[in-house]
A and B are shown apart, each in its own frame.
Chain A
Amino acid sequence: MSAIAARARATLRLANRRRATTIGILILSVFAFLAVFGPLIAPYGAHEQVGRPFEPPSSAHPFGLDGGGVDVLSLVILGARVSLLVGIVATAVSIVIGAGVGIVAGYFGGLVDGVLMRITDFFLVVPVLPLMVVVAAVWGPSLFHVMIVIGALLWTPVARVVRAQALAVRERGFVRRARAMGASSGRIMWVHVLPQLRGLILTNTVLMIAQAIMAEAALAFLGLESAQVVSWGTQISHAFSSASMSAGAWWAIVPAGLCIAIVVLACNLVVIDSGEARARRRPLHLSRRRPRVTAQPKALEEQVS
């Protein structure tokens, strides 16, 4: 029992030292909860008309109603699911591709590196929106297409960053020893190189989730996502297309936008305290803190009798 208590205490201490990360995680947990249990929590349905269009916020509807008379609070809660889903799925695809390409390019170097990096450069310059427009035009707008497009284009910066680190890890002594032993490249990359990149990949994953959510919002806003989908992006899109601004109904837009902003902020808070960020802080000898100097000659050491 006390071992568990000790672990709990240690975790709390850690949480206190990394306050930004803790706050970020807490915020994201709230939204994750909304995403999972949304349909059970939302007071009304996403297509349920419960009043007149653009009714202002009231005690019955804290966020008011949108252009279709739907409860905005419910929309926001239900939208969390899709927005976060896109964020996570697109990120998962991106990270696997990006980290994979990065590690292989960094470890093998030479021709493999060259080819992979040229491919990466290619994807780097493809513009997201025009591609999405083309996809939507050819295959019709859909949530699935959005996820694929975002996933297919977001991985390039990760590949570069991971590659740079992988190049460094390759020169480490234990990697050299594994190679000297004749271990297979696959084994070395999986057992020795990847674990060194864990922190980097994790940090990039969290940041990428934020980017993916924003990308989804952008694409939805442009009408490239199916209108049936309930996400924060489509809400903002609806709000604009139903002229809520000219109707003065700011409550149709702001809540969804605010949710996106808070989630992005939370993601950034989580990584702000990461090891890399800390490492970049000013080393002590360059800070303005000076050593403490006491001039009086030391008293003779007490002889322990």
Chain B
Amino acid sequence: MNPPLLEVAGLDVFYAPLDEEPRRHIVRDVSFSVSTGQRLGLVGESGAGKSTTLYALLGLLPGNAEISGRIAFEGVDVLAAGHSGLVALRGHGIALVTQSAMNALNPVHRIGRQLREAMPSGGRGRAARRARVDELLDRVGLPPSVARRYPHELSGGMRQRVAIAIALASEPKLLLADEATTALDTVVQARVVELLHELCTELDLAIVFASHHLALVAQLCDTLATMYAGRIVELGPTEQIRDEPQHPYTRLLFEATPDLGERKEHLRSIPGAPPPLSDVLPGCSFEPRCPRAVEGCRVRNPAVEPASHGGEVACLRPERVEAHG
């Protein structure tokens, strides 16, 4: 197997109190790794900590954030250099596409210029840069004429592709996508996801795709990680997790997501709500809502252990039976 491109171990993100707000523990002891060409899906509902995890990797969190743990990119410990270590990763190996990236394009610059701006500096002459612009646009399935256009002349789907092209312009090895397709229409969304898949295969690009849309993530990613209340509760090969989810939350998440053609009788909801992140939770954070909880779940937070699907799960009583199909 390839050595890990990105290694995250014991990542913790706190938000120091502002005004009257308490200190919040948004990302709790998160560990995962991404290899070259791997497609990792980060799934969870609002407040699970997916976006915060991604933004922490590039030092994009606000000033009152406290980050600790270990982040290694290509074997180098990035956090050792403090915040600037994270900043240095931007455009140098890791690129980001956000949900509203299509709205973040400079409205008074043409697309071509914005692409050139994102390219690594030095080394290329004008002609080479323009050729690269055409190449990037072609990569994302856009005609070269787009380079002369302004953002407002393009549709949402096209602008999101431009955002992806801008991310690619820095020649990253890892792409972070935070709800990158959520704002798009279903048909356009499918095309963009296809595009991402192609890019990963052709360029050996690794991607961490964070989204609350389970079916979409399951379609694109070969590895799936479910997050709840700041922790990764399950991680493993997508197909295996889909067929035999071990963590009760993962299973319930699958059961709450309608598959096209499935009727309402099969749909479940999870009563209750996630705990406030300002609380210190001695036991498992999912315990209050978990159908499989026992006394021991309230006492200690379950450690991450190997799961039968080859990945890992953090649960005292993981499910071992087949999930219903």
Contact = CB atoms under 8 A, between A and B. Distances in A.
B311 to A, nearest CB: 20
Contact of B64 (A284, A288, A295, A303): A284
B59 interface: yes
Contacts of B69: 294, 297-298
B221 to A, nearest CB: 27
A184 interface: no
B85 to A, nearest CB: 7
B9 interface: yes
A118 interface: no
Interface string A261-272: 000000000000
Nearest to A13: B20
B30 to A, nearest CB: 10
B79 A293 contact: yes
A291 B59 contact: yes
Contacts of B197: none
Interface string B89-122: 0000000000000000000000000000000000
Interface in B5-30: 9-10, 12, 16, 18, 29
A296 B301 contact: no
Interface residues of A, number: 18
A290 B67 CA distance: 11
Which applies to chain B's interface (DSSP): helix, strand, loop or mixed? Answer: mixed
Please classify how large the interface on chain B is, using the bins under 10, 10 to 19, 20 to 34, 35 or more: 20 to 34
A289 B83 contact: no
B29 A292 contact: no
A292 B300 contact: no
B67 A294 contact: yes
Contacts of B80: 295
Contact of B63 (A287, A301, A304): A287
A293 B62 contact: no
Nearest to B77: A295
A285 interface: yes
Which applies to chain A's interface (DSSP): helix, strand, loop or mixed? Answer: loop
Contacts of A296: 68
Contacts of B68: 293-296, 298
B276 interface: no
B63 A284 contact: yes
> Could you say which of B16, B59, B69, B85 has the most chain A C-beta atoms within 10 Å of its C-beta?
B69
Given A293-B68, A295-B79, A304-B282, A285 B300 contact: no
B82 interface: yes
Contacts of B191: none
A290 B70 contact: no
Contacts of A287: 63
Interface in B115-140: none
Contacts of A293: 59, 66-68, 79, 82-83, 85-86
Nearest to A285: B62
B61 interface: yes
Nearest to B10: A298
A34 B160 CA distance: 64
Contacts of B79: 293-295
10 contacts: A284-B63, A289-B63, A291-B64, A293-B66, A293-B85, A294-B66, A294-B69, A297-B9, A298-B10, A298-B69
Given A291-B63, A293-B79, 13 more contacts: A284-B62, A285-B62, A287-B63, A290-B63, A290-B83, A291-B59, A291-B64, A291-B66, A291-B83, A292-B66, A293-B66, A294-B69, A298-B70
